[in-house]
Amino acid sequence: MAPLLRRKQFRLAGRFPTFADSTIDVVVFAGDDGILLVDTNFVVFYDKIMAAIRRISDKPIRFIVNTHAHPDHVQNNENMARQGAVVIAHPNLRTAMMSAASGVSRGGFPVVTSTEMLSLHFNGEEVVFVPLKPAHTDGDSAVYFRGSDVWAFGDVYRTDYPSLGETSGGTIENFVEIYNNALQMATAKTIFAPGHGQLSPREELIALRDAAITIHARFRDLVKQGMTLEQIMKARPSREFDARFASENKSPTTGNTIERWYRAMYAEALKEAAGH
């Protein structure tokens, strides 16, 4: 039987108010060869994370794959690397972590980076490292566990409207392309593990992709008509999708609000219109 992929959630219990109502996930893939982690969470939760991992397996932590460079996904890299774990990531993620502002010391930097897909043959199955186009950041990656049929997305998929990394070149078109590629590469039964939130079947990812395509097309049309951002916000082109996908409905403390998302899509639509 193929090793199982297990996910543990850690609630911040109000200690970090910005994320007080969020879950931040660490994917733990355990088997005879050892443990592979997708992301490592905040340092403050190291003891809780290790206790949860040890309830799953007493094997050594051998690999870490980081999905992007935000602190809630990388801060424990060094703690895990001290145990012998090799960190794998997109090269842009390593560049971001090397900046003084990242708060991650050298011991937590990725030692293997790639802009091409890589396969690890680990715990009896193929684990595929999938670098992504700029979306949430310019160093995004995903991981596909072929045997377990689980796709770990990081914050490129969080079950809410896409969180655009505007300063790093993220676009709605890139998000849609990433979702399409994942759906094509995965199977009808793949489980998608978001960077925050609940495990999702294929249908949930398709529904979010379709909503993003529809709303993006509406934005393009409204910008072509000469509408301002304020007018578009009043028109609310995402209205029928908001109950299901608006980030505020999932966490009242989110930074990815409707207003922020509209501003990002408006800026993208203006650039597209200027390019044409």
pTM of the model: 0.89
Distance CA 233, CA 236 (A): 5
Task: Quote the pLDDT of residue 244.
Answer: 95
Beta bridge partners of 145: 127, 150
Task: Quote the pLDDT of residue 8.
Answer: 38
Task: Quote the pLDDT of residue 6.
Answer: 41
Task: Quote the pLDDT of residue 100.
Answer: 65
In tens digits, what is the pLDDT along the chain, a chain of 276 residues?
A: 233 444 433 332 222 222 233 355 789 999 999 999 999 999 999 999 999 899 989 999 999 999 999 988 999 999 999 999 999 999 999 999 998 666 778 899 999 999 999 999 999 999 999 999 999 999 999 999 999 999 999 999 999 999 998 778 899 999 999 999 999 999 999 999 998 888 899 999 999 999 999 999 999 999 999 999 999 999 999 999 999 999 888 877 788 889 999 999 999 889 888 875
* Nearest CA among 25, 75, 74, 78 for reference residue 53: 25
Task: Quote the pLDDT of residue 135.
Answer: 95
Q: Tokens standing for 198?
A: 């609940």
Distance CA 190, CA 199 (A): 10
Could you give the domains of the chain? 5-201 (3.60.15.10)
- Residue 155's alpha-carbon distances to 68, 70, 119, 152, 195, in angstroms, are 8, 9, 22, 9, 4
Task: Quote the pLDDT of residue 20.
Answer: 30
Q: Tokens standing for 270?
A: 């203006």
Are residues 33 and 123 in contact, defined by beta-carbon separation less than 8 angstroms? yes
Report angle CA 272, 266, 23 to the nearest 5 degrees.
120
**DSSP for 122-155?**
ETTEEEEEEE--SSSSTT-EEEEETTTTEEEEET
Distance CA 85, CA 151 (A): 21
Task: Quote the pLDDT of residue 1.
Answer: 27
* Nearest CA among 130, 140, 131 for reference residue 165: 140
Task: Quote the pLDDT of residue 4.
Answer: 40
Helix, coil or strand: residue 119:
strand
Q: Tokens standing for 62?
A: 């051998």
| Residue ranges with strand state E in the chain | 5-11, 23-31, 34-38, 61-65, 86-89, 112-113, 118-122, 125-131, 141-145, 150-154, 191-194
